[in-house]
Amino acid sequence: MKLEGERTLLRVHLRNTDKHGWSRATDALVGEARSAGLAGATVLRGILGLDVAGQILESSAWSIVEHVPVIVECVDRPEAIGRFLAEVDAIVPEGIATLEQVHVLVYRHERGAAGLCRDMPGPIALGAALPSPEEFPIMKLSESGQLLRVFIGESDTWHGVPLYRAIVLKAKELGLAGATVLRGPLGYGANSRLHTANLLELSTDLPIVIELVDSAEKVQTLLPFLDEAVAEGLITLESVRVLRYQANRPRAQGQQRD
């Protein structure tokens, strides 16, 4: 399978407790992605976040069942991702999916495969590597949106509160559609200090990424707070197409289920 070139990155944001039949929705998505022959699927587990209904999701020592956000990522050709969206629609009860263009430099499924693709892409039209709304009607329900990522340290605080928590609470106050906090085991930031989860070092300042998704207008409302609160870190912004999965969401023609 040759994947180098412009492809679609699908990221499905949901809750770890979401069910599909007798199994978890996360497991069902990964299983269907494998059955559909997608190049791969990766599950990222958050430690804090907001669901599509604006409820805080957080692991707790006092709760028997953890309620945390998860993200399922898949990359493949636009047509393959377009077909897979029908499965996402059937599996995800509530959540957000984002679609964006990426350039795959290498895809190896065995040793000795071709080397890194060094032909970097030139400018391409927005949406050129996304599923076509004409071929996949569910894309007609997608909206233009933005994915905001904030890279900070776990020990960063804001008025005595962990900064990542303060950002999620501010996003909830502003009514943003989704937020996920991911903790990394290794990394470094603007000052080049290495942060690691090595037990011998007992680091309490692991790298943190907060991902927030919504319309450009909603995301813009958060920027003044980030400008004030993030003293040291990195903030990125990218354009995405957003699909919102909710119980009463209208379905595109050709996507109805029996």
Q: 257 or 172, which is more confident? A: 172
User: How far is it, in rounded angstroms, from Cα 256 to Cα 250?
Assistant: 9
Model pTM? 0.85
Phi first, then psi: give them for residue 122, nearest 5 degrees.
-90, -175
In this prediction, residue 159 carries a pLDDT of 96
What's the pLDDT tens digit per position in 108-158?
555 555 555 555 555 555 556 899 999 999 999 999 999 999 999 988 999
Structural domains in the chain plus CATH codes: 5-143 (3.30.70.120), 144-241 (3.30.70.120)
User: How far is it, in rounded angstroms, from Cα 123 to Cα 186?
Assistant: 33
- The CA–CA distances, whole Å, from 258 to 21, 134, 254, 255 equal 16, 22, 11, 10
In this prediction, residue 185 carries a pLDDT of 77
User: How far is it, in rounded angstroms, from Cα 102 to Cα 124?
Assistant: 11
Q: Which residue has the tokens 């904030």?
A: 150
Phi first, then psi: give them for residue 147, nearest 5 degrees.
-110, 115
In this prediction, residue 180 carries a pLDDT of 97
Q: What secondary structure, in 3-state letters, does the chain show?
A: CCCCEEEEEEEEEEECCCEECCEEHHHHHHHHHHHCCCCCEEEEECCEEECCCCCEEECCCCCCCCECEEEEEEEECHHHHHHHHHHHHHHCCCEEEEEEEEEECCCCCCCCCCCCCCCCCCCCCCCCCCCCCCCCHHHHHCEEEEEEEEEEECCCEECCEEHHHHHHHHHHHHCCCEEEEEECCEEECCCCCEEECCCCCCCCCCEEEEEEEECHHHHHHHHHHHHHHCCCCEEEEEEEEEEEECCCCCCCCCCCCC
Two structure tokens written together for 231: 């003293």
Two structure tokens written together for 43: 């599950």
Given a contact cutoff of 8 angstroms between Cβ atoms, the answer to whether 87 and 20 are in contact is: no
What's the pLDDT tens digit per position in 189-236?
555 455 455 544 545 568 999 999 999 999 999 999 999 999 988 999
Two structure tokens written together for 157: 């605080």
